[in-house]
Amino acid sequence: MKGLKKILGLTLAAMMTISLVGCSSSGDDGGDSKTADKLQQIKDAGVLKVGTSAEYSPYEFHKVVDGEDKIVGFDDFIVQEIAKDMGVKVEYTDMDFDGLLGALQADKVDIVLAGMTPDETRKKSVDFSEIYYTNSNVCIVAKGKEDSIKSSEDLKNLKVGVQKGTTQADYVTSDKEGCLGISDATQLKKIPDLMLELQNGKIDVIVTGKAVAEINVKNYKNVAIGNTTIGDEVAETAAAAIKKSDDKVDNTAFLKSVNDTIAKLDKDGKIDEYMQQALELAK
């Protein structure tokens, strides 16, 4: 019995050694266990696949340029520079805002630029660049109703509309501390759909970013911006989202490249310039 156990033990040990050797050799010959560099993959492809939701003027919106429908806006100016610095072209996938991070996780896009706020919940599933723009949230109301909202609390007595899956929706509907807990707020997928509901009187107010509100009150009749900021003054921040690194793909150099471009644009005063240009384009 003793002898048999010993033989079995030796056989087991030998098998383990073989399997360990097998493991390391497949790593050495450049097999699947090697981590790929995302930045290099993008450079090799020659294309940066960008996910966005182009109904958030002036951040991103559709415009016919030289007879061709294009996605333009503030984020487009920035992502064109990000791509240029990597030596590649931009290719957009336009989708609903609440589908963007799913598309990023599923590798349908390499990066998301959509005026997206790097909040704590999102940070658990994806990485964000440095914040490239900071704005506040305000209300869009019917003209003449600018004073109907003196503080965020007043929203509780009104029919509120927000874009689905956004930080504004979270702030208005969630019952977390510091949020308003308005559970019956209207949540629609696109800002233009909310604007129609406001004009039809189905909702009293839309909570959205200040730059977005400013351009929409220019482009739609009979609407105005309410006379108060909603929530934190600096709540409406924007950053680029990329996938977190895993054992297959390393995104460190990619994220650094994105951040380097943002830092350069910021230093050169380009960010504010781009916002001004986007506001002009959106008129």
Q: Which is nearer to ligand ARG, 117 or 251 (CB)?
A: 117
- The dihedral built from the CA positions of residue 179, 184, 221 and 59, taken in this order, carries a sign that is positive
Site string for ligand ARG, 177-216 (x = CB under 6 A): ----------------------------------------
173 sits near ligand ARG (criterion: CB under 6 A):
no
Q: Provide the minimum distance between the beta carbon of 126 and ligand ARG in the complex, in angstroms, as a whole number.
A: 12
Q: Of 50, 52, 61, which Cα lies nearest the Cα of 279?
A: 61
* By the rule CB under 6 A, 56 interacts with ligand ARG: yes
Inter-residue contact 209 to 217 (CB < 8 Å)? no
Cα–Cα nearest to 188, from 219, 209, 162: 162
State whether residue 248 is helix, strand or coil.
coil
Residue with tokens 């939701």: 53
Instruction: Name the segment binding ligand ARG (CB under 6 A); options: 87-95, 113-121, 141-149, 171-179.
Output: 113-121
Q: Does 57 bind ligand ARG (CB under 6 A)?
A: no
Cα–Cα distance for residue pair 68/64, rounded to 1 Å: 5
SS3 177: coil
76 makes contact with ligand ARG (CB under 6 A): no
Size of the site for ligand ARG (CB under 6 A): 13
Q: Of 73, 115, 226, 231, which lies in the binding site for ligand ARG, with binding defined by CB under 6 A?
A: 115
By C-alpha distance, which of 95, 91, 96, 98 is closest to 76?
Answer: 91
Query: From the CB of 258, what's the least distance to ligand ARG, in Å?
Result: 17
Name which position in 166, 186, 187, 216 contacts ligand ARG (CB under 6 A).
166
The distance of closest approach from Cβ of residue 91 to ligand ARG in the complex, given in angstroms and rounded to an integer, is 17
Interacting residues of 273 by C-beta distance below 8 A, sequence separation 6+: none
* Shortest distance, position 27 Cβ to ligand ARG, whole Å: 40
Q: Is 240 one of the binding residues for ligand ARG (CB under 6 A)?
A: no
Interatomic CA distance for residues 48 and 117, integer angstroms = 21
- Residue 129 touching ligand ARG (CB under 6 A): no
Options 129, 152, 167, 261; binder of ligand ARG; rule CB under 6 A: 167
Cβ closer to ligand ARG: 152 or 166?
166
Q: According to the binding rule CB under 6 A, does residue 171 interact with ligand ARG?
A: no
Peptide bond into 58 cis (omega under 30): yes
Q: How far apart are CA 225 and CA 218, in angstroms?
A: 10
Contact 88, 42 (CB under 8 A): yes
In the complex, the residues that contact ligand ARG under the rule CB under 6 A are 53, 56, 59-60, 97, 114-117, 163, 166-167, 236
